[in-house]
Structure 1
Amino acid sequence: MELLKPSVDFVFKRIFGIEENKDILLDFLNAVFESANEPGVTEIEILNPYLDKTTVYDKMSVLDIKARTASGTLINIEIQLRDQQDMEKRSLYYWARMYGSQLVQGEIYRSLCRTVTINILGFNYIDNDRYHNTFHLREDSTGLILTNDIEIHMIELQKLREIAVGQQRKLVRWTLFLLGPGQERMEELAMEEPAIKKALTTLEFLSQDREARELYEARQKAIHDWNSNIHGAREDGREKGERFKAIEVAQNMLSEGMEVELVARLTGLTHEEINGLRKEMPH
């Protein structure tokens, strides 16, 4: 049996974002905080548990996990496997939405709680060799933190695959699990961590469930189609831009009195197109 990829957002949310697996989510979060040398949490509430299967078919839906700790800290976890070249802005946007959503009319700013964004990336994005980077709002010269309310984590799966990392940190083992290294290696990880063992059991169940596999494939197809359409639109725009530039160059060359044959050879436009441009030019 081929296991589904736990790094696909639908599968990730189905493993970590259901009430029955709240202990798995807690273990993963504490692994992230341990890696960042921060205190762990003892209790969490999942704010958007996995319920609505129809969202899987929506290629634009964000299958993230939102949670709140006992102290009120808000946490948003999102998996992004494809580089859209906008991760830092996307992170700030979702962080700001979650942070601002705490206030209702009449409440004071002091009541706002720390908000943490955790991004799990299937591509390299941060320009260093660390697979886990944590960002805060600091003063440039002294490193003094202005506030602990903003915290953004970037966990880059491919960096862990590329570099030699010891197994001592819990987050390393969780990251290896998300990479989906194969059944045998998965079982080794499960032997090392009870929470990973439970996650693997959920993954194995999902991988055998016909409906879950259909949803998985539908989600993959929807995302693939959306990416293909975006790529096609970009290519179309690039081609139109190149054609516009060729026409502009041809017009300049014709205004300098160059022959049609030379203009065609240098711009790639046809003789008919160039003659048409010449007729439109003012005499």
Structure 2
Amino acid sequence: MALEGLQERYVNFYTDFAFKKLFGTEVNKDLLISFLNALLSGEEEIKELTYCEHEKERKGIFSVYCMNEKGEHFLVEIQKAEQRFFKGRSAYYSTFPIREQGSKGNWNYELKSVYAIGILNFSFDDSDPNYYHHEVKLVNIKTTQVFYNKLTYIYLEMPKFRKTESELENLFEKWLYAIIHLPDLMERPQALRETVFEKFFRVAEIACFTQQERVAYERSLKNYRDWYSIAETAEYRGWERGYNMGLLEARAEARAKGRAEGRNEAKRLIAENMIKMGMKVNDVCRITGLSMEEVKRIRS
């Protein structure tokens, strides 16, 4: 397999190879420990991790499963593209570490905490363009109090994290910045001078790979690019169909209402068709030029 096409200095974190190498290997588990402690912001202080059996790739989803020294379980996943029922499958796989804690004999159902963490290379919530860190627990709807605090889902919508290097305020934000920008960097940023990032960038440097690792990474990168291309093409085809349908309807309507009013109505009809096709509010606004408030009114 040809390797000359690799121009980046560091790996793409969203590939299976990179994710497993950086966060899923015994020799580099201190990187995952640092990330988890930063993510949990003092709720947990993990000192040691033990890796459990890795799962195989599941259509663009890679995961590592581990336990800390207290016996608490961490299922860390990276998802390249949105799936229709990704919340459902997240809940489904979180039951595995719960069921594994079952014990024979006189067991009182005392469970250790389970954390299901999703690093998402897509956005699923259009309500707030800046709300990227979702932490979900079982809650009593009436009292808004946490009903059960040993099951936590954490979703990170990575495309929504847009802070620049100079704006980074804490270790957690530095981790997000490093993950997102890793393949675009040629040097370690000044803001990421902690010892853990020195190792992170050293391990991620392609030039330090063995020939076997380079071949494995190139294969993983190709799979990532193919997956991204398929997802992008499907999104474009959906937009194109919606646009063409809306354009035909809008033209007929515009002729009846006049040029000026017709242009606005055309945009609204196009937006309506796009929404019916399941496109996101931000994309509809960008393509039609309508404000978010107008698009939300159309959607409602």
Please confirm whether the aligned pair reaches a TM-score higher than 0.5, indicating the same fold: yes
- CA, structure 1 residues 6+226, in 2 after alignment: closer, same or farther (shift >3 Å)? closer
Q: Which amino acid aligns with 1:29?
A: L
Q: Which amino acid aligns with 1:136?
A: K
CA contact (8 A) 2:74 2:114 kept: yes
Residue 219 (structure 1) shift: 2.6
CA contact (8 A) 1:180 1:186 kept: no
CA contact (8 A) 1:16 1:25 kept: yes
- The residue number in structure 1 matching 2:89 is 90
Q: Which amino acid aligns with 1:46?
A: Y
Tell me, in whole angstroms, the C-alpha distance in 2 between the residues paired with 1:187 and 1:165: 10
Residue 187 (structure 1) shift: 3.7
Residue 85 (structure 1) shift: 2.6
Residue 222 (structure 1) shift: 4.0
Residue 87 (structure 1) shift: 2.1
Tell me, in whole angstroms, the C-alpha distance in 2 between the residues paired with 1:165 and 1:143: 37
Q: Secondary structure at the match of 1:175?
A: helix
Is residue 37 of structure 2 the alignment partner of residue 30 of structure 1? yes
- The residue number in structure 2 matching 1:213 is 214
- CA, structure 1 residues 114+169, in 2 after alignment: closer, same or farther (shift >3 Å)? same
CA contact (8 A) 1:66 1:77 kept: yes
Residues 143-154 of structure 1 aligned to structure 2 (within 5 Å): 143-154=144-155
- The residue number in structure 2 matching 1:135 is 136
Residue 65 (structure 1) shift: 1.1
Residue 9 (structure 1) shift: 3.0
Tell me, in whole angstroms, the C-alpha distance in 1 between the residues paired with 2:94 and 2:207: 30
Q: Which residue, out of 37, 40, 46, partners 2:45?
A: 40
- CA, structure 1 residues 166+108, in 2 after alignment: closer, same or farther (shift >3 Å)? farther
Unaligned runs of 5+ residues in structure 1 are 240-283
Residues 1-283 of structure 1 aligned to structure 2 (within 5 Å): 2=8, 3-34=10-41, 38-48=43-53, 60=59, 62-106=61-105, 108-126=107-125, 127-128=127-128, 129-161=130-162, 166-181=167-182, 182-184=184-186, 186-191=188-193, 193-205=194-206, 208-222=209-223, 228=230
Q: Which amino acid aligns with 1:108?
A: W
Tell me, in whole angstroms, the C-alpha distance in 1 between the residues paired with 2:157 and 2:51: 24
Residue 202 (structure 1) shift: 0.3
Q: Secondary structure at the match of 1:91?
A: helix
Cα deviation, 1:97-155, whole Å, max 9, x if unaligned, reads 22112214436252321100110011112343222111111111222111112101011
Q: How many residues align?
A: 224
- RMSD, aligned α-carbons: 3.1
TM-score normalised to structure 2 length? 0.65
Q: Which amino acid aligns with 2:78?
A: I
Residue 91 (structure 1) shift: 1.1
Tell me, in whole angstroms, the C-alpha distance in 1 between the residues paired with 2:66 and 2:207: 23
- CA, structure 1 residues 162+123, in 2 after alignment: closer, same or farther (shift >3 Å)? farther
Residue 30 (structure 1) shift: 0.2
Residue 170 (structure 1) shift: 1.0
CA contact (8 A) 2:50 2:66 kept: yes
Unaligned runs of 5+ residues in structure 2 are 1-6, 242-300
Q: Which amino acid aligns with 1:7?
A: Y
TM-score normalised to structure 1 length? 0.68
Moved more, 173-182 or 146-155: 173-182
Cα deviation, 1:10-41, whole Å, max 9, x if unaligned, reads 2011111111112111111101101xx62322
CA contact (8 A) 2:60 2:227 kept: no
Cα deviation, 1:147-167, whole Å, max 9, x if unaligned, reads 112101011111112799941
Identity of aligned residues (%): 23
